[in-house]
A and B are shown apart, each in its own frame.
Chain A
Amino acid sequence: MSIAEIEQEIIEEFEMFVDDWELKYEHLIELGKSLPMINPVYKTDEYIIKGCQSKVWLHSEAVDGKIVYTADSDAIITKGMVALMIRVLSNQAPDDILNANMGFIDVIGLKEHLSPTRANGLISMIKQMKLDALALQGKI
Chain B
Amino acid sequence: MQNTLQHTAFNVEKVRADFPILKVHVNNKPLVYFDNGATAQKPTQVIDAIAKYYYEENSNIHRGVHTLSQKATTHYELARTTVQKHLNAADVNEIIFTRGTTESINLVAHCFGKLFIKAGDEIILSEMEHHSNILPWQVLCEERGAVLKVIPVTENGELNLEEYKKLLSDKTKLIAVTHVSNTLGVVNDVKEIIAAAKQKNIPVLLDGAQAIPHMVVDVQELDCDFYCFSGHKIYAPTGIGVLYAKAKWVEKFEPYQTGGGTIKTVTFEKTVYVDGPLKFEAGTPNIEGAIGLAAALNYLNEIGLDTIAAYENELVHYATEKLKQLPGVKIYGDVKDKAAVISFNVNNAHPFDVGTLLDKQGVAVRTGHHCNQPLMQCFNIPGTVRASFAFYNTTHEIDVFISALEKAIKMLL
Residues on A lying within 8 angstroms of B by beta carbon are 21-22, 25-26, 29, 52-55, 74-78, 119-120
Whether A78 contacts B412 by the Cβ 8 Å rule is no
B351 within 8 A of A: yes
Whether A76 contacts B360 by the Cβ 8 Å rule is no
Inter-chain CA distance A119–B355, complex, in Å, is 12
B383 within 8 A of A: yes
Report the minimum CB–CB distance from A74 to chain B (whole Å). Answer: 6
Report the minimum CB–CB distance from A21 to chain B (whole Å). Answer: 5
Nearest first, the 7 A-B pairs at minimum CB distance are: A75-B350, A75-B352, A53-B352, A54-B352, A53-B368, A21-B360, A77-B353
Whether B357 contacts A54 by the Cβ 8 Å rule is no
Whether A53 contacts B382 by the Cβ 8 Å rule is yes
Identity of the chain A residue whose Cβ is nearest the Cβ of B27 in the assembled complex: A21
B367 within 8 A of A: yes
**Which residues from A are CB-within-8-Å of B24?**
none
Inter-chain CA distance A51–B258, complex, in Å, is 38
Report the minimum CB–CB distance from A26 to chain B (whole Å). Answer: 6
Whether A120 contacts B412 by the Cβ 8 Å rule is no
Report the minimum CB–CB distance from A23 to chain B (whole Å). Answer: 10
B356 within 8 A of A: yes
Inter-chain CA distance A26–B357, complex, in Å, is 10
Question: A21-B27, A53-B369 known; 20 other A-B pairs, CB under 8 Å?
Answer: A21-B360, A22-B360, A22-B407, A25-B356, A25-B357, A29-B412, A53-B350, A53-B367, A53-B383, A54-B382, A74-B382, A75-B352, A76-B349, A76-B353, A77-B353, A77-B356, A77-B357, A78-B353, A119-B368, A120-B352
Inter-chain CA distance A75–B385, complex, in Å, is 13
Inter-chain CA distance A29–B382, complex, in Å, is 20
Determine which of A21, A22, A29, A78 lies in contact with B352 in the assembled complex, contact meaning CB atoms within 8 Å: A78
**Which residues from B are CB-within-8-Å of A55?**
382
**Which residues from B are CB-within-8-Å of A75?**
350, 352-353
28 contacts between A and B (CB under 8 A): A21-B27, A22-B360, A22-B411, A25-B356, A25-B357, A25-B360, A25-B411, A26-B411, A29-B411, A52-B368, A53-B367, A53-B368, A53-B369, A53-B383, A54-B350, A54-B382, A74-B382, A75-B350, A75-B353, A76-B349, A76-B350, A76-B353, A76-B412, A77-B353, A77-B356, A77-B357, A78-B353, A120-B352
Identity of the chain A residue whose Cβ is nearest the Cβ of B355 in the assembled complex: A53
Inter-chain CA distance A10–B349, complex, in Å, is 26
Contact with A along B362-402 (1 / 0, CB 8 A): 00000111000000000000110000000000000000000
Inter-chain CA distance A52–B366, complex, in Å, is 13
Inter-chain CA distance A77–B368, complex, in Å, is 15
Inter-chain CA distance A78–B351, complex, in Å, is 12
**Which residues from B are CB-within-8-Å of A26?**
411
Identity of the chain B residue whose Cβ is nearest the Cβ of A119 in the assembled complex: B368
**Which residues from B are CB-within-8-Å of A76?**
349-350, 353, 412
Identity of the chain B residue whose Cβ is nearest the Cβ of A21 in the assembled complex: B360
Report the minimum CB–CB distance from A103 to chain B (whole Å). Answer: 22
Inter-chain CA distance A42–B369, complex, in Å, is 25
Identity of the chain A residue whose Cβ is nearest the Cβ of B382 in the assembled complex: A74
**Which residues from B are CB-within-8-Å of A119?**
368
**Which residues from A are CB-within-8-Å of B369?**
53
- Tell me which of A21, A26, A74, A75 has the highest count of chain B C-beta atoms within 10 A of its own C-beta: A75
**Which residues from B are CB-within-8-Å of A25?**
356-357, 360, 411
Inter-chain CA distance A78–B350, complex, in Å, is 10
Whether A74 contacts B357 by the Cβ 8 Å rule is no
Inter-chain CA distance A101–B356, complex, in Å, is 25
Determine which of B350, B407, B412 lies in contact with A74 in the assembled complex, contact meaning CB atoms within 8 Å: B350
Inter-chain CA distance A29–B360, complex, in Å, is 14
**Which residues from A are CB-within-8-Å of B27?**
21
Inter-chain CA distance A11–B331, complex, in Å, is 40
Inter-chain CA distance A119–B367, complex, in Å, is 11
**Which residues from B are CB-within-8-Å of A54?**
350, 352, 382
Identity of the chain B residue whose Cβ is nearest the Cβ of A80 in the assembled complex: B353
Inter-chain CA distance A25–B350, complex, in Å, is 15
Report the minimum CB–CB distance from A115 to chain B (whole Å). Answer: 12
**Which residues from A are CB-within-8-Å of B351?**
53
Inter-chain CA distance A55–B353, complex, in Å, is 12
* Residues 326-353 (chain B) with a chain A CB within 8 angstroms: 349-353
- Tell me which of A55, A74, A77 has the highest count of chain B C-beta atoms within 10 A of its own C-beta: A77
